[in-house]
Structure 1
């Protein structure tokens, strides 16, 4: 179900849940000139049985914050448009968290890549993992082994993938990395699912913002949007990962997402299937 979170005169508990989940992002965007068509696709929460089935299928446990997120909403899709001119309005802003069932192992995709004649000639996923573990940029790389599991959260222009990495499946703590597909280099992105969600929001859903943390770099048209809307996000400092959504003295720095918000969404009754 899609909606404009700003048009509701009498917000429901569900509306307030999504406003808290996105740290009031819609209100921030509506105050930026030329941003329009702000829409939010709300979704039903996952059932506990769906979580269990996913964990059993992949033989891992979801991190606690991620599990609570999906028990509140089965992902979400947030988008907005930018008005370049009176007759040129384009959808550019986008935050998408996939349905749980869409989060799959990267290995299957990498096997296809490895068999391509235009790619590195690696014969098995474990061989790829050994190469990645031996990468010179080891401080930014996960410590992978034959039991490690890598899940894809997002594909960025086929240049890079945002991945959730289990270094060992026995431990539910995961970290979020960028895997650069041209070089198979890892770039650290976030220490947890909650931190990754917060970073998506702080970067306003600007297209391909994750590439700011990679060696690939932003496409020129995307960089222009950053310069227009949020030039401070292009600053190359170690603290950029901790940027606040609100940068003025009049507003508190909502740069910390409380995972307890995941528990506050009222569970809606499901529509019976049409026969």
Structure 2
């Protein structure tokens, strides 16, 4: 790649990330903001992926891969003389956009004793087809491994065998195998990732689990807006599957430094709020069947997830 093309690619990536790398570089304590430069994906490669998986990629993520084959931005914080890796924003390259299979096989090539599909079939009923499934009802592809804290997935729901899947959503699969809706399209997901600066566990803001107290300190320093409680119940409702509205972002608030004003009493108690009030775009409320899933055998869950989280 020539110097001119490298500079052009850097400008494109900077626009794609809304200038977040420059914003991070100006913040106190942050250093080593690094963007991994990647090549582009040609149309033939995209068509091959689609034909292999019997899926049609949505236009926005297809345009993304045409611009860069994946994405990786990392940043560190200097604490005394030590550099701590904190932020990580990652989108898998198209070759790593692999299908999550719920089918387990033994060493002899035959079906194993249990699989992720067993959990779906036995205790997780979803008659309305709202949630992703590990069986033939969905086609699920890993977009980000989240440093083994879960998986962000591109999910084609309500699929039929032999019929190309077209409509996709973006979901987070936590370590307990619960699904949490994040965004309807790639543009919205990418902006949410940028808004949260790739801070650890940011995907858990969309769950009823929430982020850990130690991680809350990083959010208080660099992304306090992400900890604000929901202000509009209608906005939360509109973000659920079946509704195609996208919450607007105030980029001036997202990328400005931490407010130096004296915190209010409400802000001081923010760290103790329940995880449900911290949820930003929100996942669909767990139905009764999803709650029942938590009572599945511990041995079954452990065996089913061994291949998923190595």
Deviations 1:214-267 (A, max 9, x none): 1332233321100111122112316696543321899xxxxxxxxxxxxxxxxx
Of the three residues 164, 167, 174, the one matched with 2:168 is 174
Alignment of 1:91-170 (within 5 A): 91-107=85-101, 111=104, 123-130=114-121, 134=125, 141-142=131-132, 146-156=136-146, 158-167=148-157, 168=159, 170=164
Normalised to the residue count of structure 1, the TM-score between the two structures is 0.73
Q: Partner residue of 2:83?
A: 89
- Looking at structure 2, the residues matched to 249 and 25 of structure 1 have their Cα atoms a distance apart, in angstroms, of 7
Alpha-carbon contact 1:106-1:152 (below 8 Å) kept: yes
Of the three residues 210, 215, 235, the one matched with 1:217 is 210
SS at 1:107's partner residue?
A: coil
Q: Partner residue of 1:196?
A: 189
Of the three residues 12, 23, 27, the one matched with 1:28 is 23
Deviates more, 1:126-135 or 1:53-62: 126-135
Cα offset, 1:76, TM superposition: 1.5
Alpha-carbon contact 1:133-1:144 (below 8 Å) kept: no
Structure 1 pair 157–38 and aligned structure 2 pair: CA distance change class (3 A): closer
- Looking at structure 2, the residues matched to 133 and 215 of structure 1 have their Cα atoms a distance apart, in angstroms, of 18
Alpha-carbon contact 1:126-1:146 (below 8 Å) kept: no
> Which consecutive unaligned segments of at least 5 residues does structure 1 have?
2-7, 116-120, 251-275
Alignment of 1:31-42 (within 5 A): 31-42=26-37
Q: Which has the higher strand share?
A: 1
- Looking at structure 1, the residues matched to 85 and 254 of structure 2 have their Cα atoms a distance apart, in angstroms, of 27
Alpha-carbon contact 1:133-1:141 (below 8 Å) kept: no
Q: Partner residue of 2:219?
A: 226
Q: Partner residue of 2:59?
A: 64
Q: Answer yes or no: is 1:13 the counterpart of 2:8.
A: yes
Normalised to the residue count of structure 2, the TM-score between the two structures is 0.65
RMSD of equivalent CA atoms: 3.2
Deviations 1:112-155 (A, max 9, x none): 8xx9xxxxx9845544444686269x897348873420111122
Q: How many residues align?
A: 231
Q: Partner residue of 1:246?
A: 252
> Which consecutive unaligned segments of at least 5 residues does structure 2 have?
107-111, 237-246, 257-310
SS at 2:179's partner residue?
A: strand
Of the three residues 74, 82, 92, the one matched with 1:79 is 74
- Looking at structure 2, the residues matched to 23 and 122 of structure 1 have their Cα atoms a distance apart, in angstroms, of 48
Cα offset, 1:62, TM superposition: 1.1
Structure 1 pair 48–54 and aligned structure 2 pair: CA distance change class (3 A): same
Alpha-carbon contact 1:201-1:245 (below 8 Å) kept: no
